[in-house]
Chains A and B, each alone.
Chain A
């Protein structure tokens, strides 16, 4: 039924195959969202799934995000394992109350007697020339909420495995997909998954630890390539999970390099970078050779697309910050 699992594929295809695997292995998995049926989603992530699994399991919902999340809660109480697609990052907010007040708290409110195994997929991040509300990075809102787990894939192989792990998790997971990488290069799929909440060193280096996740990881790998030409070896850590944070992997790296730059598209202040900087200070203060620096979006609304390339933590901004941290 499914395509060969270990062929080279795009992230979009990998997510599609991962969803298919989850639906095959658990009949209680249902996909719900706007345009996920015949159309296969506006990004085609659910392409062909309704045809193969039927309208009862791949559900085109009314255009109501609170309704999508709220009915997913009811389905979960009935024993289902819903996978909700939010069409774009900026459209999750009508469903925010149901996520924060209901999805996140239900297990706790029931004294652990009820599980809420809901996965909420959100295409996020910028760089695709979109109109407003289509390029945002709202991960911190969810990471700040007890009861939620927040992850993001940066490549096709992780996309394939992480979506299956998120769906299999009995806790609610907010799954951020870097939309500008959906249809970028094809990549091979690993034969085995990495545990979902574990970070991964994707390129070793000895001078600066570069931490990113989702769309920024590929930027960091490019930066490492360029910096290497100048004799600076960047160690790139793909966080994969924003909450919980795999701090042992980050701290172990910082203890070796003494320098840390955190990169995210989300606005500068009160974000993942701030959290990691604090924890590194708490856990590896005496290893630091320089202050922890951040490369991020600015504390502005997401810009009109003609400005987004400069606004985003692009290669030049990352390399400038590497230069800066090496001056200490």
Chain B
């Protein structure tokens, strides 16, 4: 095979707007007009979500969370994609999109209930136009396609009204690209010209399986077979992720149909806090990717090129510390579910059988805890 899928060196057609060294570069197809203050705002996002991640891992180690799926290394992909969304757009995450959740103003504590075991999701997707985390791999891409079918039926695409035209952003990973659901969602989106953008974070590893286990061709090239464009971008470059996702979402809103974006990135941490990557990959791989860190390059740009003062970075750090305290204290304070609540929302209207079972369980728990 001539194509090295697992290459650390990207392909020549990989879109990049900010080099790992922090230099702005241009791409003819994706011009990005962005002020240094806006880049500074992205920097803040990146630092905040990395801090949430760091705190969550610590909380898991302390026994406060049952599990955590770390986003370390993927902050650029998630913040770039998340900030490309308009408020009225809809996002469908996997279980690792803590950065996108941040962009949708979802409190990190809202996500932690799932990992602490105090709820099974527990929020209204419509409140932030951000769906519940979806753990079954790839299932959410069909929900995104269906939501986009609804957008079309609502006449909210291609009207030229920026407040009305709506796009849908579906997240998934390199492992999910093998799922039937993901391929079916490509079929529905392609044949139906749906306003949905598929954002694949190729972080090179599906737990222990390298992307070569999933595909013979680079993932973005799959789009061609479904009849829509595919593009591979530097997933550690927040500016490329922003520019390319913005363009794809604009195309979707303008009734130009779907796009597949493959954000070429790397999962720096284990798959989850339960995983041990020493069994399947070399530590040197992560060392190489460290040089491409999504935050360091923005910091380098802001400090060296844009001339931001050290006090700016100190302020962001101080804010991150505050956020960390909020996460630590808030996580421990998340209320345990009451025994009866388990039964409350199985159906919209509780069945007689469940009324009976609920009573039995509530009585039992109160007896044993008395």
Contact = CB atoms under 8 A, between A and B. Distances in A.
Interface in A139-189: 146-147, 149, 169-171
A326 interface: no
Nearest to B184: A67
Interface in B162-219: 180-181, 184-185, 187-188, 191
Contacts of A79: 150
Contacts of B265: none
Interface string A50-94: 000000110101101011011111111111100000000000001
A321 to B, nearest CB: 28
19 contacts: A30-B153, A56-B153, A62-B184, A62-B187, A62-B191, A66-B181, A67-B181, A67-B185, A67-B187, A70-B143, A73-B143, A74-B147, A77-B147, A78-B151, A97-B181, A108-B346, A110-B132, A111-B122, A114-B124
A115 B122 contact: no
A206 to B, nearest CB: 27
Nearest to B113: A111
B348 A170 contact: yes
Interface string A251-281: 0000000000000000000000000000000
B131 A80 contact: no
A109 interface: yes
Interface of A: 30, 56-57, 59, 61-62, 64, 66-67, 69-80, 94, 97-98, 101-102, 105-115, 146-147, 149, 169-171, 197, 244-245
B347 A110 contact: no
A200 B370 CA distance: 44
A149 B145 CA distance: 25
A111 B139 contact: no
Contacts of A170: 348-349
Contacts of B147: 74-75, 77-78
A102 B150 CA distance: 18
A248 to B, nearest CB: 8
B153 A112 contact: no
Contacts of B151: 78
Nearest to B145: A71
> Interface extent on B, as a size class?
35 or more
Given A66-B184, A67-B181, A78-B147, 17 more contacts: A67-B188, A69-B142, A70-B185, A74-B143, A74-B144, A77-B143, A77-B150, A80-B150, A98-B181, A101-B136, A102-B136, A107-B348, A111-B123, A114-B125, A115-B348, A171-B347, A244-B353
A92 to B, nearest CB: 15
Contacts of B141: 70
B229 to A, nearest CB: 20
Nearest to B148: A74
Given A62-B184, A70-B185, A102-B139, A110 B146 contact: no
Contact of B139 (A72, A98, A109, A149): A98
Contacts, number: 142
A147 B347 contact: yes
A171 B145 CA distance: 22
B131 to A, nearest CB: 7
B188 A71 contact: yes
B142 A98 contact: yes
B23 interface: no
A75 B184 contact: no
Given A74-B145, A110-B122, A64 B187 contact: yes
Contact of A171 (B125, B139, B152, B349): B349
Contacts of B336: none
Contacts of B187: 62, 64, 67
Interface in B20-48: none
A37 to B, nearest CB: 14
Interface of B: 90, 92, 119-126, 131-132, 134, 136, 139, 141-154, 180-181, 184-185, 187-188, 191, 344-349, 351-353
A172 to B, nearest CB: 9
A242 B254 CA distance: 46
Contact of B121 (A80, A109, A245): A109
B58 to A, nearest CB: 26
Contacts of A61: 188
Among A62, A64, A70, A98: residue with most chain B CB under 10 A? A70
Given A61-B188, A67-B188, A71-B145, A97 B345 contact: no
A107 B188 contact: no
Nearest to B143: A74
Contacts of B143: 70-71, 73-74, 77, 102
Contacts of A75: 146-147, 149-150
Contacts of B131: 77
Nearest to A105: B120
Nearest to A80: B150
B71 to A, nearest CB: 21
B191 A110 contact: no
B16 to A, nearest CB: 33
Contact of B142 (A56, A74, A80, A105): A74
Contacts of A62: 184, 187-188, 191
A75 B188 CA distance: 13
A74 B150 contact: yes
Contacts of A113: 123-124
B142 A111 contact: no
Given A62-B191, A74-B150, A244-B351, A67 B142 contact: yes
A34 to B, nearest CB: 13
B345 A111 contact: yes
A109 B120 CA distance: 5
Among A66, A67, A75, A113, chain B packs the most CB atoms within 10 A around the CB of A67
B94 to A, nearest CB: 14
Nearest to B183: A64
Contacts of A171: 347-349
Contacts of A109: 120-122, 132
Contacts of A149: 347
Nearest to B348: A170
The 7 closest A-B CB pairs, nearest first, are A74-B146, A70-B142, A78-B150, A71-B146, A112-B345, A113-B124, A67-B184
Q: Which of A105, A111, A147, A171 has the most CB of B within 10 A?
A: A111
Contacts of B149: 59, 71, 74-75, 78
